Structure formats: C-alpha cells, structure tokens
Structure 1
Amino acid sequence: MIKQSFSLTKVTAFSLSQSKHTLFTFHYKFSKTNMHASFSARATPTVKHVPELSPEEMDRVREQTFQKYTSVSGLGERKGKGVAIVWFRNDLRVLDNEALFRAWVSSEAILPVYCVDPTLFGTTHYFGLPKTGALRAQFIIECLTDLKRNLVKRGLDLLIQHGKPEEIIPSLAKAFKAHTVYAHKETCSEEVKVEKLVTRKLQEFVPPSSGGVGNEPRSLNATKLELLWGSTMYHIDDLPFGCESLPDVYTQFRKSVESESRIRNCIRLPASLGPPPEVGDWGCVPQVTELGLQSEKVSKGMKFIGGESAALGRVHDYFWKKVRDLSLICDYCTANATGIFQILYPVSCLFISFSVGYQVVFCSFFYPSFSISLVQR
C-alpha cells in the first residue's frame, strides 16, 4: 500500500510538470487490497455565470418579485405638483427605492437621471491608478441597461447624460423647472464632495412655482437636493446608537440592533410611476470603449451579471434552490445517525449563509466542530 501511494505521487508530480496549465481531478476507489486513481483533465478553464439562470427564468423571477412589491391600492391619490428629479448613483434599482417613491408622491412627473461621470472612469490623484477597470465598467453598463428596461416597464425612462453631476443636475433642474432632486446619500469623500457642489449650484436657480419674491432668502426657494439613506439593511435613523458610538465589534452591534431595532419593510411602489416629462433624447447606455477602456472578457472563475433582475435571480437561485437542497440534507442527517456532515468534519473552515422564510439564518462550520443557528420568523 505504501509503495502504491508513492507511485501515485510520482505519476501525479510528473503529469503536472509536463502540463502546468492542465487541471487534474482525482477519483479514488478504495478496497481492501488496492487503491485505484483515475484522472480527468480539463484543458480550458470554465466560466461560471452568477446567477446560474437563463434570461427567461430571470425575467420570470423579476416579474414575480415586482408584482409582490407593487401596491395596487393603499398609496392614495397622487397630489404632487411639478417635476421631481431622481438622481441615480450607486442605487441602480427600482424596487425598495425611497427616492423613486418620494419623487412620485411629490410630483406630477418624474425625471430619472444617471450621469456618466468621467471622474469615475479616470485615474486616482496619487499614482494615477485607474478607478474603474473594464470588468467593473461592463458591470455598471449591465446595471444601467437593466434599470432602463425596468423603468420603461413602470412608465418611465432613464435619461443618460455624459458629464459631471454638479453641472448636469442643476442644468436639468433649470430646464424642467424641478422643485426637488431626490438621491441616495453616499459616504465616501469624493461622492460627498459632489453632493455639496450640486447643492451649491442648485441654490443659484429658483423655479417659478416657488415664487422667490419678497424678503425670503433665495436659497429657501431654490431647487432642493433631498438625500435619503437607502444602502444598509438597518436604516441609520433606526440604530439604537449614534454613528459616533458604533461598536467596534460586530457581535456587539448585532446583539444591540436585534434587541432594540428592526429592519424596515420594503417600500411598495405603484404599478405605474409615469408619466415622465417631455424629453427629446433620453440617451443611450454607453459601451466600454466609449468610456476610454478596452473591452475585456472573463476568461475563468465567475462572471457576475449586473442589474436588478440578475440580483433578484441570484437571491432566488441561492435562497430557494440551494438552501432547499441543504434543508433536504439536514433532514437526511437528522433521520440518520451518520450523514453528509461527517464528510465535512475535517474541513478547516466552511462558512455558509442562507435564509429560511424571511429571516436570515446563520450556519457555520469551524474546525472539527460546527454549530448551526436557525431562526425562523
């Protein structure tokens, strides 16, 4: 047996040295007398698409999810006036978008805007490193394409303009006489700087509907930039502590918010968000080469598809397919004294997060022992 193992090791090492770019998979068969090994080679690496769903299945999941979070009644009558602008930034989604909902409530027409900022596709101030690579740019393009399609399905469209937001947003506010610009708040320094520049430029324009006469300061009647928080599971206003008192350890944070806070429900949108204002040219989603980058393809590993539809498909694929399979495994292990977890016993660290119903479930395996914590709503 020792001699056979040594021979197998020699063959493996020799094979790898002859072909460094070939991946080998070993299949072992054990018996009382001998051990056999079979080799299967894969010369070309494969690319795994995430999510692993067909376009038709992603469309089906998207429509089902949109239908679930669409309010047929209960939102009341739309009583807003004028035009409101929704400035899309890193929140390229329609569902659970407070900026879209607030704009719909407060206006007669919504103008969704995305600014293709050349600064995002430039280089860093120090060392001249590229801020955005070709793969990330392609991901953003896929997100914009999907966002535009989903907005059209809701009676809107996406105005895509190239330039700096601090120049485009105030110009659009003046052209369409918008009373408010809604956007999601960012936290990084460059994005915060852009927010301040947009606010400053908006204060220079007073829409006719706001008056702007008398002794009132000009800034009080100017188009407002209303920034909303919408990037975290727990809303910043619902935390049981201030940001300056944020716990350094995650366990402390988790215990605090679980006992003293709750996750807000998803915002329900009307079936139609239209109509949009009259726009001559809505613009097109740019290509990678138009952004000054060379097109690049994923040659191995995982290819993440961009867009809200792909994200919903990924949630469906992971939570409802893979978790269901894992639940069947858990049932099997419960019914039998031995199960699949014995195979995972030697694994040094395996971390899995999944969901049961609507509540997050945490399942972790650490070293020889493992622990499972299941919480169901």
Structure 2
Amino acid sequence: MEFEYFRNNESSPINNNRQSLLASGWRPFHREFNWEFLGQLVFKDTQELTQKTLNLVSNIAETLGRNHYAWWANFLNIASDNTRYEFEKFWNYITPDPLAPDYRYKDILSTETPIVQFVSRNSIPIDYVLNRLQEITVMRVLHLLGRPDIITQYYLERDLYFPVEKFISWERLDVINTVYSYWSQEDVWLQIDSYERGRRQYTLMAKDLSPLINKATYDLAVMLSGYQSRVGKIHNQFPIRSFPEDIQSFSDAVQQAILNQNQLAVLVHGEPGTGKTAWTQAVAKEILVPLGYVIFILDHDAIANFVPPTYLERICIIINEADNLAQNRASEVAQYSNKTEHILSLLDGTLYQSVIDDSGIQMRQRLVILMTCNTTERLDPAMLRKGRVDLIYEFTHRFV
C-alpha cells in the first residue's frame, strides 16, 4: 500500500505541473543577498530581525543538543526538512523579494483571450468587436515592448523564473499559476493568469500606457453593420484630391477644426451618388489616421449600443445615413426608438463623460463624428443646434 501511494503521488497533477514547468525551461529563482537591504532591516526593523535570528539559532541549538541521539545524528538532522524550512524562511526574510507589480498604477489594460463570439438573430456583436479590439491592442502593445527584462512565476511555494534569452512568444510560454513580466525602460508590468481550456487573461499595468496604446492602435479601424463585424484598416477608394474643389476646400476646414477642437461633429448631406460616404472614408484615411485616430464605422443598431472605449485617446465615428438614426422625435417612427436621444448624448459628450473615473482622473479623449444623410429635413431639430454639429456642408456634384 505504501508503494502504491508513493507511485500515485509521483504522477499527481501537482508533480506533473512541476515537471512540465522545468521541462519547458522554467528554473528555480535564487534570492540574492543584498547588503543595502540587510542594512535597512538592521536600522528600520531591528526588533523583528533580532527575534527571527534568535528563533533560528534556538532551533539549531535544540537540534544539536538532543540527548537521546548521537552527536553525528544531531549534526545530520540540521539537513532535515524542518531545519531547512527554518533556514529558508530566515533567508527569505533577510533577502529582497522578487520584483512584483505595483498595483497602485492607474493605467491598466486587460483582455481575456481567445475572444469567443456569440452571435444570434437577437443580438448585435458590439461587445465581441470591442473585446476583440482590446485583445488586438494588448497583443500589439506586447509586440512593441518586445522581450521583457524578467519573467517570473510562483508555484508550490517556490519562485521560478524563465530565462529571457530563451523567450519566443507569450503563447508558447507555459503558464500554470500567475506569470509576471517587467520592462524596466518603459516601467510596464504584465500579469498573465491561466484559466481552464487554454484561456488566459493578460493585464498590462503602468504609470502611463497612453504612448504605447497610441502606437499599437495606429491605423486600426472597426466596421460593424448588421451581423457583420471586422477589425482591420480603413480603406478609401477615392482620395480627397479627386473630389470637386469646393469639397476639397471644405476638407481643409474640417482638418483645421480637427486640429483645434477636442470634439468635432461634421454633417454632410446631399442626394445619393454625390460621394458622401466616399468622402468620410477619405477624410478618415488621409487626415484622421495619421493623427492617431481609431476609426469606427457603425450602423444604426451599433451606434445605439456604442460607448467609446476609454483607453483610446482619439476616436472617429462614421455614421452613414444619419437621417435614419436621429429622426425628428415629433414623427411617429422616432417615438418608438431611443436612438435620437443616444446620438444627441454622444454629440454632447454627456453619455460617457457624465461620471468621472474613480481615480479622480478624467480621460482627455478627442472625438470626431462624421455623419452623412440624404436630407436634413428628417433630422431632429435638436441635432442641428449650435454646439452639437459644428460643420455642415451640402454635396451637390454627382461623384459616383
């Protein structure tokens, strides 16, 4: 029975996990002695250091002074599990702990991967798209950071480390408990938590993640229409210079307003075929993307459930056929929908700026909204009031 128990214990999941970590390249982390750290204990934690030192000496003296064992047996007993545990506990106290994340960092960006899409006839995949965008952003930030300075993992009361020179990718890194990584130059921490069925959570922590996020989201665009979604790059078929001169001049005015204002709403209207949609894509590609804006092309149902992601500093929302969205609330059709109120709140900024972040820091987000419509007659009058739509222009030339 004892042999059977020993054999089962050796093949237990815990031992298998430990062997798996060692086989995949993880190594025990050895704490290094530091005179400066010991000096701080001597002067700032004298009582605790004295007590722990006396406890260790007392434990060794008790082991060596046992009368009912031979002297050589007492000497060998110093290497027993109990004494070795006391030694290790004392060594861990007088040596610095491995580096750990500073959870006081205010900038945190987290994603669970892989993202699972749930789409039905009764749901719009807006949450999936936003989660997918966040996953792409985190992975791009990790790509920009490159190889970290340290990679550690705590398992079975042991600190382990992964040699950074052997690091290939995060997907191939064996994670059983929680992994921490650190980039000293950027002062960024990464925490990886492992879940069942191969799912992981990546959490980035730093004093300021904005520069990295801005680089990671450059040239990103999101399209959400009906039950179709796509995260990629904006595509424009016609450049701004191919439009009539008056529209080119209006584009220059729009560009200047984008540079001067934190929030801008632009409405272009005209008959079908005058190039309104093509113009919004050209402005997005040639003006907004170089300035670091993330482009969202949203249909009516998507915009009704959309709140700008707070980790993005610059956002452009393109809404085509806005006259089908922000309809006059005096009409019977608009009374059965709250889309008009939603778009008005979005234009006011009250939808997502009405609550200040609990850290006391309010995100300075720049927002550009480009809207097209065939006619302004069906739009709610409140939408055209000063302060909501900044620039309005009519397209009259047949472009397409």
TM-score, scaled relative to structure 1? 0.21
Rg larger in structure:
2
| Highest RCO, 1 vs 2 (Cα 8 Å, sep ≥ 6) | 1
